[in-house]
């Protein structure tokens, strides 16, 4: 597809999914893109960051508005929710179809992968708008400190998620055992989640207590790779200052903990740590590759991840790479039986992270193939939520917001 055609289609989706107004519950203006008008009609945290990055190619004012709206959801203690229910009144049935942990009717009590500082950095670099930057910096600083305080009680540099949706990779097979998943289906997943949610009910909102209860406690590799990546952006934006030093130090600490605690030398992959006891969960998924986003990952680790996993046709190197689960995993599902997602299909956001990372680590051919195949999948099947890694059949939501990251590959 010609670049101009790609841009025209992406613009149609992003502007078609745009929501603008003033919320009657907090009096704030909102202007953001929903991931999907039908499936996901609110503001999702990491989706919004990806939308803003795509918008830097199309509409700089809207890119700023997207992030300003997201940051306006920050709470006084620094927390920024995973979902903000702008215009909930127009979606009365949403919560009967979907569950999410809440302490407020207007936003979730959960987080998503903390990519926001990087998104702000991209929008700032594209616009040069100092007012935008100066308004964002204190919110970002408070947010990354909130994560450290509330989600890293053992102070090892790794933050923990309290339910799978917080990692953005909802039904990944790496959570099956911890969730006690009895039925391998979306229904089975929701039933298992309900148990976690009801155990949390008396403590919802007190994340340190939730983590101590050790019900679902994952120091997730994807989340922590993005946490370190985000803090590096924040440090760059803070210039030469004690705060910049603080976040540089914290990012190094997270990188060192990923290498020291999550790297498994025998498997040649990174694994999440489960529970307060920090047991490695030895299931390779796309998140096992995500530390590649760190430019200073030790070279021997980069080479093993790329040589043994990424470029291996038995694992991730399928016709439309990179699948969310390697083909060698017995639970690999290249389709999405009834919305049972993140178990095989290829997603554009992880391709965006990993194609840039591979290029940065000196693998331009692999990066070029991922980019070309992603564009081909979009050309064949439209801007879908995810794709079958063998056929590029489009799956999940249509006109899906973050697939427009194809503009930024």
Binding site for ligand GLC (CB under 6 A): 35, 40, 44, 46-47, 168, 170, 341
Q: Which one, 87 or 252, has the nearer CB to ligand GLC?
A: 87
178, 167 Cβ separation under 8 angstroms: no
| Dist. CA 230–CA 90, nearest whole Å | 33
| Dist. CA 123–CA 399, nearest whole Å | 23
Smallest separation (angstroms) from ligand GLC to the CB of 208: 25
| Dist. CA 20–CA 87, nearest whole Å | 10
Buried b (16+ CB within 10 A) or exposed e, 171-202: bbbbbbebbebeebebebbeebbeebbeebee
Smallest separation (angstroms) from ligand GLC to the CB of 401: 7
Q: Which one, 123 or 341, has the nearer CB to ligand GLC?
A: 341
Smallest separation (angstroms) from ligand GLC to the CB of 102: 16
Smallest separation (angstroms) from ligand GLC to the CB of 7: 22
Q: Which one, 348 or 377, has the nearer CB to ligand GLC?
A: 348
Q: Which one, 171 or 306, has the nearer CB to ligand GLC?
A: 171
Q: Which one, 51 or 315, has the nearer CB to ligand GLC?
A: 51
Q: Which one, 46 or 197, has the nearer CB to ligand GLC?
A: 46
Dihedral sign of CA atoms 40, 352, 171, 205 in order: negative
**Phi, psi dihedral angles at 94 (to 5 degrees):** -55, -45
Buried b (16+ CB within 10 A) or exposed e, 73-89: bbeeebbbbbbbbbbbe
Q: Is 303 exposed, middle or buried (0-12, 13-18, 19+ CB in 10 A)?
A: middle
Q: Which one, 36 or 68, has the nearer CB to ligand GLC?
A: 36
Smallest separation (angstroms) from ligand GLC to the CB of 112: 6
Helices (H), 108-259: 116-127, 130-151, 176-179, 186-200, 207-213, 221-238, 242-257
Smallest separation (angstroms) from ligand GLC to the CB of 356: 19
Smallest separation (angstroms) from ligand GLC to the CB of 35: 4
């Amino acid at each position: 597809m010609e670049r101009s055609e790609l841009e025209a289609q992406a613009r149609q989706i992003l502007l078609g999914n745009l929501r603008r107004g003033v919320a009657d519950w907090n009096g704030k203006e909102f202007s953001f893109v929903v991931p999907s008008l039908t499936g996901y009609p609110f503001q999702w945290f990491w989706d919004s960051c990806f939308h803003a990055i795509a918008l830097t190619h199309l509409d700089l004012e809207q890119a700023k508005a997207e992030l300003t709206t997201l940051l306006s959801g920050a709470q006084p203690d620094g927390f920024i929710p995973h979902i903000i229910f702008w215009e909930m009144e127009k979606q009365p049935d949403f919560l009967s179809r979907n569950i999410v942990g809440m302490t407020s009717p207007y936003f979730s009590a959960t987080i998503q992968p903390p990519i926001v500082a990087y998104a702000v950095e991209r929008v700032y670099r594209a616009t040069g708008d100092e007012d935008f930057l100066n308004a964002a910096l204190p919110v970002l600083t408070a947010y990354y400190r909130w994560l450290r305080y509330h989600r890293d009680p053992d102070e090892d540099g790794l933050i923990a998620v309290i339910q799978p949706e917080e990692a953005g990779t909802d039904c990944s097979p790496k959570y099956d055992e911890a969730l006690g998943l009895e039925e391998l289906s979306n229904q089975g997943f929701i039933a298992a989640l309900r148990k976690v949610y009801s155990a949390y009910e008396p403590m919802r909102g007190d994340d340190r207590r939730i983590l101590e209860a050790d019900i679902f406690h994952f120091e997730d590799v994807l989340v922590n790779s993005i946490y370190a990546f985000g803090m590096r952006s924040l440090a760059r934006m803070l210039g030469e200052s004690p705060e910049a030093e603080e976040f540089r130090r914290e990012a190094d600490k997270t990188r060192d903990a990923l290498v020291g605690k999550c790297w498994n030398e025998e498997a040649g992959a990174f694994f999440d740590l489960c529970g307060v006891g920090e047991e490695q969960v030895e299931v390779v998924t796309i998140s096992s590759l995500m530390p590649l986003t760190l430019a200073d990952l030790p070279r021997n680790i980069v080479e093993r991840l790329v040589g043994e996993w990424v470029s291996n046709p038995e694992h991730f190197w399928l016709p439309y790479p990179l699948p969310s689960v390697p083909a060698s995993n017995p639970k690999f599902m290249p389709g999405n039986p009834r919305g049972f997602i993140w178990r095989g299909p290829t997603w554009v956001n992880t391709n965006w992270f990993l194609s840039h990372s591979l290029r940065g680590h000196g693998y331009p051919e692999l990066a070029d193939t991922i980019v070309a195949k992603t564009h081909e999948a979009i050309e064949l099947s439209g801007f879908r939520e995810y794709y079958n890694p063998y056929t590029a059949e489009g799956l999940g939501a249509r006109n899906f917001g973050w697939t427009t990251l194809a503009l930024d590959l």
